[in-house]
Structure 1
Amino acid sequence: MDLFCARWRVYMDEEEFGFSRNYFLAKELGGSRKKSTQKISDINVVDEQELRAATANIEPKHEKEIEALINGYKSLYPKWVFELRCGFGLLMYGFGSKKSLIEDFASAALTEYSVVVINGYLQSINIKQVVIALAELLWDQLKAKRRNASGTLPKDQQPFNARSMDDLLAFLNGSEVDEKDCVICLVVHNIDGPGLRDSETQQYLAQLASCSHIRIVASVDHVNAPLLWDKKMVHTQFNWYWYHVPTFAPYKVEGLFFPLILAHGNTAQSAKTAAIVLQSLTPNAQGVFKILAEYQLSHPDEEGMPIDELYTISRERFLVSSQVTLNSHLTEFKDHELVKTRRHSDGQDCLYIPLATDALEKLLTEIS
């Protein structure tokens, strides 16, 4: 027994030594390699329209198998309707676009409900306008039902667009509506999309889903989508019934609103990509960038904006407190290739934005 333990200890020591030796050897070799100086912008990529046309012409495969798969999902429609009536929210996940499947379900099985659709794959969505639309639709249903039942209409009330979100949600939850069979189904394509991904919007959607007159059917595609919700939102407010429904369908509609990595961006796409980067920066950094952009648009014949002048205007507008602060913003701009430097004819360094005039105008519109 002692001999066995001794041999085992020697074996483990050798394993540990071998692991340590390989680790430090890898670190030594890794540190000796030269870092690449190439950038993503150096890649020779194709035109965006050409790439989109090529992807549109890709021939679909396994059509019969996919059709059988979709028909299997369609057989679940009665079950899905029953679960909605029981107060569950339906959450569809899996590989492939689920837009056509959910819309077919809504048109085929939710005919007795009013349906409102949110396209979460869009870049920006006004959640209050959605809630106002739901409230107005419920109010129309209520008036129609009372007119048919007794001939009396509800009393006039404050316009919904003048109400707060809390009042709108309270109305949808039934505090002013007695008829429990007045129900609206909310369909949300890509509830994890960029226009709905912030915490405040998700909280409002969760409160909507818990309203007595609202039922929700949604889809997710991002692998980290469940991180958007806490335990209360998942089990109490959304009350999700999860369905794995891979469709293997291409994201044709959803993909129109996202840049193609392998393609040269056109004017609108370049402005949109730059806007996405700027929106991740602080408001003061965005303000400094606006000063530079406005100067470049108003002085098209100049080589750029002098750094001293940018600092003076930024300080007057309380966007920076020192040259160090301005330099930190400029470093961030340069790292993202939003701003570049070149030498003016009088010898001083000037800053310029490497975008065409029309693209720069679109960018200012995006961030404003």
Structure 2
Amino acid sequence: MEMAEGDDEEFGFSRNYFLAKELDGSGKKSTRKLSDIDLVDEQELRAAASNLEPKHAKEVRELMNSYRSLYPKWLFELRCGFGLLMYGFGSKKALIEDFASTALTEYSVVVINGYLQSINIKQVLVALAEILCDQMKNKRSNTSGNMPKGQQPFNSKSVNDLLAFLDGPQVEENDCFICIIVHNIDGPGLRDSETQQILARLASCSHIRIVASIDHVNAPLLWDKKMVHTQFNWCWYHVPTFAAYKIEGTFFPLILTNGNTTQSAKTAALVLQSLTPNAQSVFRVLAEYQLSHPDEKEFKDHELVKTRRDTDGQDCLYIPLTAEALGKLLLEIGQ
């Protein structure tokens, strides 16, 4: 088979490219380390980041206006029982809150900030139940004048009882519902399996509608097919905003800053959150052993785990953190 002229040129270009890579030795592993970077103070870095001027303001405004034209469609889908899931580059916080303040004025709205480190999901359910109870009282008093019987305090009810109450029968076809805004439903305070199961059950309740955003590339792995198609019932929307994650980033340590003991532990904890439970268990065992044998190890750089040759010639792993930082790190990962 004869090769076309264009294909021949492309083949020659590819061959020369890889030959050049081979000659300049670029395939070798880089010797540069994170410790070689000239780190700065965290407050100085945050101040510099906050003073960055946004670019392409006109294009961003036009993009946001195009999303606002979708608000009636989004509201219709919520009323039909769907959930809205926003994804794409940039913070979706301002967009979702603008949608809520513009199109959801007739409904009660509860906001969950999933980018926070910890969230009490039971208290969220209690708050939702109290709001729904008040709405039902107002509706009954306006129609029949009969007030509902006194109920057991919601704080004393179980999660299952609260979900059952929120999934109660609707009296009318256009009955009221509560809309939940979840910024970063894949955030650190919500991404554990138990919380995601509760959120999925909550989203399927008759009196609940949900609008959420995701930013982690692996966020869809949090849900199985039933959760996606039956409980959350997502309508996916690609809505890149190119907005800075100013508020969301406030609660995470910056890696490229000079860190003290607490900062080092938080940064290491962020890395460990992305690992499997088995890998975290291995790291925990290593950290506990190192704390109990403080004279057997040395710390040389800022990497999370390093390998060194032991006295008997075997390779062993160690964590290059101080004993104080290791103790705080164990607290961060639940020990």
Map of 1:1-368 to 2, 5 A cutoff? 39-175=33-169, 178=171, 181-276=175-270, 282=280, 286=284, 289=287, 304=294, 336-337=304-305, 354-355=321-322, 363=329, 366-367=332-333
2:206 aligned counterpart, secondary structure: coil
Structure with the larger helix share: 1
Which 5+ residue runs of structure 1 have no aligned equivalent?
A: 1-6, 9-24, 297-303, 308-329, 341-350
Q: Which moved more, 1:216-225 or 1:90-99?
A: 216-225
Which 5+ residue runs of structure 2 have no aligned equivalent?
A: 3-18, 309-317
Equivalents in 1 of 2:218, 2:252: separation in Å?
18
What residue identity is the alignment partner of 1:57?
N
1:263 aligned counterpart, secondary structure: coil
1:140 aligned counterpart, secondary structure: helix
Q: Which moved more, 1:181-190 or 1:219-228?
A: 219-228
Equivalents in 2 of 1:184, 1:218: separation in Å?
14
Shift of 1:89: 1.0
CA shift in 2, pair 1:355/1:153, >3 Å = farther
Equivalents in 1 of 2:257, 2:30: separation in Å?
22
User: Contact 1:278–1:286 (CA<8 Å) still a contact in 2?
Assistant: no
In the superposition, the TM-score normalised over structure 2's length comes to 0.76
1:46 aligned counterpart, secondary structure: coil
Shift of 1:130: 1.6
CA shift in 2, pair 1:174/1:72, >3 Å = same
1:123 aligned counterpart, secondary structure: coil
What residue identity is the alignment partner of 2:52?
I
Shift of 1:112: 0.9
User: Contact 1:174–1:213 (CA<8 Å) still a contact in 2?
Assistant: yes
User: Contact 1:305–1:352 (CA<8 Å) still a contact in 2?
Assistant: no
1:218 aligned counterpart, secondary structure: strand
CA shift in 2, pair 1:178/1:269, >3 Å = farther
Equivalents in 2 of 1:94, 1:34: separation in Å?
35
In the superposition, the TM-score normalised over structure 1's length comes to 0.70
Q: What is the CA deviation profile of residues 167-220 of structure 1, one whole-angstrom value per residue up to 9, with x for unaligned ones?
A: 211111115x64661310011111122222222222221211111100111112
Matched residue count = 316
Flag the structure with larger Rg.
1
Q: What is the CA deviation profile of residues 258-296 of structure 1, one whole-angstrom value per residue up to 9, with x for unaligned ones?
A: 232322234543232233456655568647746876x89
What residue identity is the alignment partner of 1:77?
Y
Kindly report the root-mean-square deviation, in angstroms, between the aligned alpha carbons of the 2 structures: 4.1
CA shift in 2, pair 1:160/1:76, >3 Å = same
What residue identity is the alignment partner of 2:178?
I
Aligned-pair identity (%): 69
Partner of 1:318: none
CA shift in 2, pair 1:355/1:149, >3 Å = farther
What residue identity is the alignment partner of 1:236?
T
Shift of 1:364: 5.9
Equivalents in 1 of 2:222, 2:270: separation in Å?
20
CA shift in 2, pair 1:284/1:158, >3 Å = farther
Equivalents in 1 of 2:107, 2:175: separation in Å?
10
1:264 aligned counterpart, secondary structure: coil
Taking CA–CA contacts closer than 8 Å with sequence separation of 6 or more, which of the two structures ends up with the larger relative contact order? 2
Shift of 1:44: 2.6
Shift of 1:254: 1.2
Equivalents in 1 of 2:211, 2:162: separation in Å?
20
Equivalents in 1 of 2:140, 2:328: separation in Å?
49
2:85 aligned counterpart, secondary structure: strand
What residue identity is the alignment partner of 1:235?
H
Equivalents in 2 of 1:284, 1:35: separation in Å?
27
Q: Which moved more, 1:204-213 or 1:154-163?
A: 154-163
Equivalents in 2 of 1:258, 1:190: separation in Å?
14
CA shift in 2, pair 1:37/1:56, >3 Å = same
Equivalents in 2 of 1:66, 1:168: separation in Å?
42
2:45 aligned counterpart, secondary structure: helix
1:124 aligned counterpart, secondary structure: coil
User: Contact 1:93–1:219 (CA<8 Å) still a contact in 2?
Assistant: yes
What residue identity is the alignment partner of 1:336?
L
